């Protein structure tokens, strides 16, 4: 008889326990921000009462036959926060530290991110507590298909459309699509987004988030009356988002002078060739040691005398300990939650113009929406068409958010949340409570 192991290995169980406290603190922070936005906009206690809890929370135990014959049981979640503006939309993450509070908070943020960009979606999020780095491809496939089977009843093209997130990718989305389609009895590509292009994925999806982050910085430059050709830029986190943000900002005339990854950073005041740096990182595994550059730390990068800072790496990278050292005039947040509330206050006092993550990295979910529309219509749009539509959407969202800063005399982060609460609140009030 095979041995059954619950919750993967002990290291994962320990991590999950530690993260629970972090997830609770994250959820508390999101609820506090939403409460403030409700009070600023005078949306009403009824709206907050609905928004403070998700509409549906599903917790599943996922038994998986491992390659060695053992059965391990992983915990999985799918949280659907609110669907007043349309079907639930949100990614699925595979990470040892996934816990329910974290998934609830992320589902809430997806509701507001979709509302800020005016997408006809509500917010959702999913996750499985596992360490994908130690799982084989076949184990990942079995885990994904079993998880999909267990959430099958609450997802669907007009109900809840998952997407990739931390440590999930186009391959995982293909498995979800196939499993759902097999259960449904016909091919249903519109059930997920972020698929391979040849299986119904959208052109332009790979670069969408970084492109959106660059657009946020560009619009901030215009708003402040600056000239992009005279501006210097530092990129913290030279991954997919950081690279594409750097690529577009350089094309628009900016000078990339610093970049970093988890192993360290580089500084090159005369400018960095972004494509050459990407190739160097692919070959060596890091940006560190790039020819002609000076090696610096991630902390030193944050404090450089640059005009634009793109945090595209970790959550809470900008905190109360380093915020005062930041000299950038503009921050466009490519990562989720890179700035803590304490740091936010310090940066506001320094009059740093911040394009918040809920707006700056919304390019991904916006292009996911375009993919969904293409799938529903069985159409295929060109890359240029996708990026043109994406630019129009994000520039409009930036202008809408900026208008709220003036209307309520708040910063961009508060304005974005106020805009989202207004839009979701209006939908809730119009629909009413039934039955």
- Answer yes or no: 393 catalytic: no
Please list the residues that pair with 176 across neighbouring strands: none
Mean pLDDT for the stretch of residues 7-15: 36
pLDDT one-digit tens code per residue, 305-316: 999 999 998 778
Mean pLDDT for the stretch of residues 232-246: 96
Tell me how far CA of residue 77 lies from CA of 22, 99, 136, 193, 359, in angstroms.
Answer: 17, 8, 22, 18, 26
Mean pLDDT for the stretch of residues 7-21: 37
Angle at 354 between CA 350 and CA 359, to 5 degrees: 165
In 3D space, the residue among 400, 432, 428 whose CA is nearest the CA of residue 416 turns out to be: 400
- Is pLDDT of 251 > 90? yes
Domain ranges for the chain? 4-187, 207-351
pLDDT of 336: 84
pLDDT one-digit tens code per residue, 317-339: 999 999 999 999 999 999 988 99
- Would you state the structure tokens that stand for residue 332, as one six-digit string? 């466009």
Q: How far, in Å, CA of 145 to CA of 247, rounded?
A: 36
pLDDT one-digit tens code per residue, 121-176: 999 999 999 999 999 999 999 999 999 999 999 999 999 999 999 889 999 999 99
- Is pLDDT of 13 > 60? no
Q: Are 121 and 107 in contact (CB under 8 A)?
A: no
| Single pTM value for the model | 0.91
- Is pLDDT of 276 > 90? yes
- Would you state the structure tokens that stand for residue 39, as one six-digit string? 């009070």
Quick one: what percent of the chain has pLDDT higher than 90? 89
Mean pLDDT for the stretch of residues 415-420: 97
- Catalytic residue chosen out of the listed positions 89, 125, 195, 393: 125
Lowest mean pLDDT among 164-168, 205-209, 279-283: 164-168
Q: Give strand ranges (E) for 213-287.
A: 232-236, 255-261, 264-267
pLDDT of 151: 98
Is residue 29 very low, low, confident or very high in pLDDT (cuts 50, 70, 90)? confident
Domains 4-187 and 207-351 belong to one CATH topology: yes
- Is pLDDT of 4 > 80? no
- The dihedrals phi and psi of 106, each to the nearest 5 degrees, come to -70, -35
Which CATH code is given to the segment(s) 4-187? 3.40.50.10860
pLDDT of 3: 47
What's the burial of 10, exposed, middle or buried (CB within 10 Å: 0-12/13-18/19+)?
exposed
Quick one: what percent of the chain has pLDDT higher than 70? 95
- DSSP output for 320-376: TTTGGG---SEEE--SSS-B-HHHHHHHHHTT-EEE-HHHHTTHHHHHHHHHHHHHH
Q: How far, in Å, CA of 106 to CA of 113, rounded?
A: 10
Identify which has the larger pLDDT, 230 or 296. Answer: 296
Is residue 206 very low, low, confident or very high in pLDDT (cuts 50, 70, 90)? very high
Q: Are 398 and 358 in contact (CB under 8 A)?
A: no
Residue 209 CA to chain centroid, in angstroms? 8
- Is pLDDT of 180 > 50? yes
Is residue 11 very low, low, confident or very high in pLDDT (cuts 50, 70, 90)? very low
Averaged pLDDT of the chain: 93
pLDDT of 23: 82
Lowest mean pLDDT among 21-35, 147-161, 220-234: 21-35
Q: Which residues contact 25 (CB under 8 A, 6 or more apart)?
A: none
- Is pLDDT of 203 > 60? yes
pLDDT of 104: 96
Lowest mean pLDDT among 22-26, 214-218, 291-295, 300-304: 22-26
Which CATH code is given to the segment(s) 207-351? 3.40.50.720
């Amino acid at each position: 008889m095979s041995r059954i192991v619950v919750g993967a290995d002990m290291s994962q169980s320990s991590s999950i326990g530690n993260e629970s406290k972090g997830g609770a603190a994250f959820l508390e922070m999101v609820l506090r921000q939403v409460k403030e936005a409700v009070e600023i906009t005078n949306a009403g206690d009824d709206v907050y009462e609905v928004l403070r809890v998700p509409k549906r929370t599903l917790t599943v135990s996922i038994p998986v036959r491992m390659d060695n014959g053992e059965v391990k049981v992983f915990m999985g979640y799918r949280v659907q926060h609110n669907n007043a503006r349309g079907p639930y939309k949100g990614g699925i993450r595979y990470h040892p530290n996934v816990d329910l509070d974290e998934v609830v908070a992320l589902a809430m943020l997806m509701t507001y991110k979709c509302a800020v960009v005016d997408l006809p979606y509500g917010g959702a999020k999913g996750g499985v507590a596992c360490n994908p780095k130690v799982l084989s491809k076949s184990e990942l496939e079995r885990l994904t298909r079993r998880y999909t089977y267990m959430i099958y009843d609450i997802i669907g093209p007009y109900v809840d459309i998952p997407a990739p997130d931390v440590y999930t990718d186009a391959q995982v989305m293909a498995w979800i699509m196939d499993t759902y389609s097999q259960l449904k009895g016909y091919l249903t590509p519109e059930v997920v987004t972020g698929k391979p292009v040849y299986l119904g994925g959208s052109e332009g999806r790979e670069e969408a988030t970084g492109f959106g982050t660059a657009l946020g910085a560009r619009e901030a430059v215009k708003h402040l009356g600056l000239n992009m050709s005279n501006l210097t830029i530092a990129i913290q986190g030279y991954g997919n988002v950081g690279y594409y943000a750097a690529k577009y900002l350089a094309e628009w005339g900016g000078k990339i002078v610093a970049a970093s990854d988890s192993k360290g950073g580089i500084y090159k005041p005369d400018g960095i060739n972004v494509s050459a740096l990407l190739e160097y990182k692919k070959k060596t595994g890091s940006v560190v040691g790039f020819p002609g550059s000076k090696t610096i730390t991630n902390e030193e990068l944050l404090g450089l005398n640059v005009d634009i800072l793109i945090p595209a790496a970790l959550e809470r990278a900008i905190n109360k300990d380093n915020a005062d050292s930041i000299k950038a005039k503009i921050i466009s947040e490519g990562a989720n939650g890179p700035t803590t509330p304490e740091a936010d206050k310090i940066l506001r006092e320094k009059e740093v113009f911040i394009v918040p993550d809920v707006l700056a990295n919304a390019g991904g979910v916006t292009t996911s929406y375009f993919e969904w529309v293409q799938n529903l219509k069985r159409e295929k749009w060109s890359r240029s068409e996708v990026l043109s539509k994406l630019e129009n959407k994000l520039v409009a969202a930036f202008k809408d958010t900026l208008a709220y800063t003036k209307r309520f005399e708040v910063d961009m982060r508060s304005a974005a949340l106020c805009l989202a609460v207004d839009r979701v609140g209006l939908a809730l009030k119009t629909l009413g409570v039934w039955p």
